[in-house]
Amino acid sequence: MVEAAFELADADGLDALTIRAVAARLGVKPMSLYRHVAHKDALLDALVERMYAEVETPDPQRPDWRAELRRRAHSVREVLVRHPWSIALIETRTGPDRPFTFVHAEAVLATLISAGCSPRLASRAFVVLDSYAYGFAVQQVTMPSTEPGEVVTDEFVAAMQQYPSLVAVMGAVMADASYDFVAEFDAGLDLVLDGIDRWREAQLPAVTVGRKQEPRDLG
């Protein structure tokens, strides 16, 4: 049943996902599915679990924590792009029976703590890592094209002339024969991991309050 729901979401999105549609895909009566799930929310919980089963978890026992978090971040992005419906669903589930979800979170946090992050800093780093991976996946899924110049028309170029910085950046990207949108993920990930490393070494990241920088001990 979960596999049928997963395939349906991949094919037609979450809007098409109903108990009746899953039953039709399986060739059974809708009421028969309620012996396995109490309601649609339970099915959505199961879908998130099924999605997390595809995501690689970092190994806290390995010494290169950056390599482990890099491998995991790439896996998160790839899974979200492969199953774009999951982007809107992944952080919405609150059910207690989510072993894959919790095992995955435990592995990420344990990797950060093993690297020397305090529990509070590990929480912040986890949020930053996921925000970056999720955000990049959203762009990759929703952009009209990730190929530079593919959506550029004469009308588009004419309209852009009032935005010289944008024109300069677009020109630089289009002139770069090695440009690969997906490869840009690694460049940004380097910045994220470098920032976490600085936090880890200092354990006193600056927190902006208005225009004043004040340190806060994360404990």
Residue position matching structure tokens 């852009």: 160
This prediction's pTM: 0.80
Mean pLDDT over all residues of the chain?
86
pLDDT of residue 92: 82
Q: Which helix (H) or strand (E) holds 120?
A: helix 119-142
Query: Quick check: 89 and 47 in contact, CB under 8 A?
Result: yes
Mean pLDDT of 75-79: 96
pLDDT of residue 122: 95
Mean pLDDT of 182-209: 83
Give the whole-angstrom CA distance, residue 116 versus residue 130: 19
What percent of the chain is predicted at pLDDT more than 70?
Answer: 89
Give the whole-angstrom CA distance, residue 161 versus residue 23: 54
pLDDT above 80: residue 75: yes
pLDDT of residue 148: 66
pLDDT of residue 38: 76
pLDDT of residue 164: 86
Mean pLDDT of 106-115: 96
pLDDT of residue 210: 52
pLDDT band at 150 (very low <50, low <70, confident <90, very high): low
Can you tell me whether residue 215 is helix, strand or coil?
A: strand
Higher pLDDT, residue 17 or 179: 17
**For the ranges 12-26, 108-122, 188-202, which has the lowest average pLDDT?**
12-26
DSSP class of residue 28 equals S
pLDDT band at 175 (very low <50, low <70, confident <90, very high): confident
Render pLDDT for 23-67 as a digit per residue (tens, 0 to 9).
898 888 888 887 777 778 888 888 999 999 999 999 999 999 999
Residue position matching structure tokens 């979401």: 9
Higher pLDDT, residue 209 or 48: 48
pLDDT above 60: residue 188: yes
Mean pLDDT of 2-17: 91
16-33 b/e (C-beta count within 10 Å ≥ 16 → b): ebebebbbeeeeeeeeeb
Domains with residue ranges and CATH for the chain: 56-215 (1.10.357.10)
CA pseudo-torsion sign 6, 12, 14, 20: negative
From residue 148, alpha-carbon distances to 113, 155, 179 in Å are 40, 16, 8
Query: Quick check: 204 and 215 in contact, CB under 8 A?
Result: yes
